[in-house]
Each structure stands twice: as structure tokens, then as C-alpha cells.
Amino acid sequence: MSEAAGTDAEAVLDAARAWLAQDPDEATRAELAPLIDAAAAGDDEASADLVDRFGTRLAFGTAGLRGRLGAGSNRMNRVLVSQAAAGFAAYLREKAGADAAPIVVIGYDGRRNSDVFARDSAELFAGAGLRAVLLPRMLPTPVLAFAVRHLDAAAGVMVTASHNPPDDNGYKVYLGGADEGSQIVAPADAEIAAHIDRVAAAASVADLPRGEYELADESVVEAYIAATATVAPAPAGAAGMTWVYTAMHGVGYETLSAILRAAGYPQPVVVEQQIEPDGRFPTVAFPNPEEPGAMDLSFATAREAGAEFVLANDPDADRLAVAIPDDAADGGWRRLTGNEIGLLLGWRAAQRATAGQTAAAGSGGAVPSLACSLVSSPGLQAVAEHYGLAFHSTLTGFKWISRAPGIVFGFEEALGYLVNPETVRDKDGVSAAVAMLGLIAEAREQGLTLADLLAQFAETFGFFQSGQVSLRVEDVSIIARIMAALRAAPPAQVGEVAVERIDDLLTGADGFPPGDVLRLWLADGSRLIVRPSGTEPKLKAYLDVRGTSAADAAARLAALDAGTRALIAAAPA
């Protein structure tokens, strides 16, 4: 639809009628038909709703598709997913050649319509001449990422919206071969999007050919379980360990429980209200362990069980949250930050790499390396330097982290960790949970807790602390204006600390692909990064300091926080 058509009521009505004619889903047809009738009769509210649904198209990018369920080109539904599958199939056929039949593996989680979207995709891949393999049931995203490599597939699709709100769903795309099962990056995203647009413009989804797909057998899941159990076989210190686990109404528990049996760990006390997959997410408004209140049931269960720690996966189990007892915290439990978890797991990975327990990932004899996104703690670089390993800072997203040369461990502050790159080239909350269990069990053998390990890390590598400042807006153009203002008049100081250098990643600074990111280095060694959120209408600022003590680091962070808030408030919006 052209930009003009997007605002023209008659054109929107035509688009809605054309959509209705090809929609195979009775639920979305029933949702759309009365809106069309009302808008045609002059109902302004119905017309505005149709413009929201059809005035634009849900964009396909490096994160695939993600959006609210419902009828329309700006929603997740069977029409949009069918167009995406047919377009992706055309892209894969173009890359493979006319006579090839590349494998595509499809997975899905427990969200509403995930299974339907997955079956539609499998049938359309098969109809396009690909060998489509559907995973046997709802499973974690990391199992799909693993299956792409395990089955030597050309590509993989995971139907999930991860930790998004309950009314969302999404479509995440991976590539095999030289991409080794990583998520797509440019220019593949634009090339796939172009194929999808051609499909959407040329044909009704009712006319797209469908075929028969294969159902993967349990051996794929069993191979993932076996590989992940080797991440950290249970040491003696695991005996008698009491801990709590929540799946956050997602799909993580069945797979994790099988891995625990294989690796020799005691089963957890589970949060019963959240342990089974449920796409309604009835106990949490936002199924993300980072959100305030999301882990309250976990903490209540832990207090009742006398647990030593809590582990939580998000709904598709690609993220991991960890909490420990803390008398100073509200309710007596504190969730560790993503940076704290990432630094502990990175420390473990560095020790194993230098002890010869971990082979360098990738080819060409790359030096073993640690990697994290540029907004994650600089403490990981200190770990890498301490152990003589290489270090790579990347743009945000595991599509970049997973491609770091020689990677043995990578993380992102938003609770994402890559601990076994030889088998999964994406964040994996299940294997990260196993690695964390190994870390905790080894500490228990020495009479130590996770809190003790955090203190040891600070004494060894420095007192790193991180924070965030976010500005949520109704009008996203405000964010663009703030970023433009910061570029036009770069700040000379943040609070009372002078700015020594500014890297503008829009121009591809430091070898990064161009991105809308400003990185400020301050005279006291602190770092401030400002960028628009990639998933929400927010301006995000990431604060990192390194102090001479815990108290000094806390004071530096508080000062940087205040200075950052003043800087953003002063920028013309």
C-alpha cells in the first residue's frame, strides 16, 4: 500500500476487503468483517481502527516479525505469516538454486496461534519445494536454534514473541550454512522483506501452493538435551541443593528438567502457578523476569521452601534470570542484574577456556574470545584481558554477538547469555541455567554463595556498576529530535564530569555497522551510551562506572544517573 493510500479511507477499505477475502482464519475474519461494515457506514472510530490495521505493514527486519495478534497488515495473523513464509521460501530457493531442496526447520512456543503459524509455514515451505521439518511439539527457542545446525538446515523459523505482552506473537528467522545457525543480519533482512512484499502484492494466500511437511522425531530434542547436559555436569557440590524455578508460563521446564536428570542436578521446587505453558500469562501483566513484580511468586515460593537461589526463564526460555537472598531487598530477595550474571558466567567461561576445557568456536584458528553488546558491562573486557583472551564489543543483539570470531561466551545485559556456541549460536536461557547451576555447585563445595562470588569478582577485576535511564514517549519523533540535538550540540560534560570523547555510531565508528547510537566517554572513566530502543517507544541511556570500592562505584553511578537525567531533560524535544 502506498503512503497516500495508507491515509485514504476508501483505499484502506479496499485493502481490508481484499484481506478479508483471503483470510483463512475464522476468528480474524469475525473481527474484521463488522469493522469494514461500520467504517463503510461512516463510523469514524471503525475507520480509525482500520487505518491502524491497514495503514502500514508490520515490518520484517533482522528480528523477523513481532507484533500484536489481530486482523490486518499491521498485525500478526495467518495472512501475514503465510506471506512471510512464502517470501522467505522464495529467498531460500533463490539462494540455493532451482534444483536444490534445502531444509527448513520450524519451531513454536506456547503463545496463542504459535502452533497454527508454524503449521502454515511448514505447509507453505513444502509447497514451495523446500524440505520442511516441524519440531514435534512446543519447545524453547534454543532447541530450534540448535536444530538448524543439528539437521544441517539452510534456515530455521521460530514462532515466538519471547517475553512480549500476552497479545503479541512473532516470527524469528535463522540461517544455516556459513551463518552457522545465527539470526539474520543485513542485507538478508532486506532481501527477504522484498520477497515477502512481492508475494503480498502478487497473490492471495489462498492461491499459494501447500505441501506435506515432516515431523521431527524426538532424537532432535534428545540431542539438544545431551549436548546441554555437558555444559556443566553436576559436581559433588550439587548434592542437597535447594532451589526454585519458574518457567513464567512458558515452555522451558520440560526440557530443563530432562537436562537436570542427565547432568545429575537435583530437581527444583517449581512455581506451580507458572510452570505449565499458558499463552494467557494469567499471573503476570508482562511475562518478562526483568519487569517489577514478575518474580514475586518465585520469591514467595523460595521463602516457603528455604531456597538458596531462584532461576527463571522467560516464556520461550532464551533468557535467564537469577535471584539470591538479600535482607536489604524488599521481600528478602534480589534479582541479579543481567550484567552481574553475565560477568559471573564470563568469568567461568574464561577459566575454562584458559584451562583448555573449551575449544575456540568458529574456524581458522581464531583466538578464544569473550563478547558482549556495546551496552553491556565493560567488566567482561577486564575478564578477557586478565586471562589473555580476545574481546569483542558488538551492536546489540545476538545476531551480532554470535558472530564474534572465536567466541566461547557472549552476553547482553537484557538477561541473554550464549554459553555453548559450538551447539547454539543464540542466547540460550536453558544452557545458561545449567552453567549457573555448575557455578553455584562448585562454589558450594568451597562453602561459598553467589553473593560471595560477586564479591570475589569485584576484588579480582574491579568494582563495576551499571544503570539505565529510560524516557518513554507517546510520539516517537521526540526521540529522533533528542538524538539530533545531542549530535548538533554535543555535551561538554555530564553532571560535573567532563566528556573526553564521543563516538557516533551512525557513521560506523570503531568498525561497527552504522547504528543510531551515541557513546560518551567521561574523564573519570565512566561511560554513557544513548540510543533509541529497538522494540519500544523509549530513549534508553546505559550507564557504566568502575570504582575503587563498592561504595565509590555506587556514588559514581548515582552522580552519572543524575547528570544523564538532566542532560536528557535539557535536550530540545
Residues recognised as catalytic: 162
Beta strands in 142-272, from DSSP E residues, in sequence order: 155-159, 168-175, 182-183, 214-215, 243-246, 269-270
Burial of 548 (0-12, 13-18, 19+ CB in 10 A): exposed
Q: Whole-angstrom Cα distance, residue 350 to residue 369?
A: 8
Q: Compute how many other C-beta atoms are within 10 angstroms of the C-beta atom of residue 377.
A: 25
Q: Whole-angstrom Cα distance, residue 373 to residue 397?
A: 7
Q: List the end-to-end C-alpha distance of the chain, in Å, as a whole number.
A: 31
Q: Whole-angstrom Cα distance, residue 384 to residue 142?
A: 26
Q: Compute how many other C-beta atoms are within 10 angstroms of the C-beta atom of residue 181.
A: 26
Q: Whole-angstrom Cα distance, residue 90 to residue 426?
A: 25
Q: Which residues contact 558 (CB under 8 A, 6 or more apart)?
A: none
SS3 call for 370: strand
Residue 26's region, left for phi above 0, alpha for psi from -120 to 50, else beta, is alpha
Q: Whole-angstrom Cα distance, residue 301 to residue 307?
A: 8
Position 501: which residue type?
R
CA dihedral 360, 361, 363, 367 (to 10 degrees): -40
Q: Whole-angstrom Cα distance, residue 187 to residue 175?
A: 13
Nearest to 535 by CA among 378, 396, 375: 396
Please count the residues of the chain: 573
- Looking at the DSSP bridge assignments, the partners of residue 319 are none
Q: Whole-angstrom Cα distance, residue 221 to residue 202?
A: 38
Cα 305–chain centre separation: 31
CA atoms within 13 A on the CB side of 512: 23
Position 335: which residue type?
R
SS3 call for 190: helix
* 147-150: Cβ within 8 A, 24+ apart: 147/105, 147/107, 147/216, 147/220, 147/224, 148/105, 148/174, 148/175, 148/176, 148/181, 149/176, 149/180, 149/181, 149/423, 149/424, 149/425, 150/220, 150/223, 150/224, 150/423
Q: Are strands 168-175 and 65-68 parallel, antiparallel or unpaired?
A: antiparallel
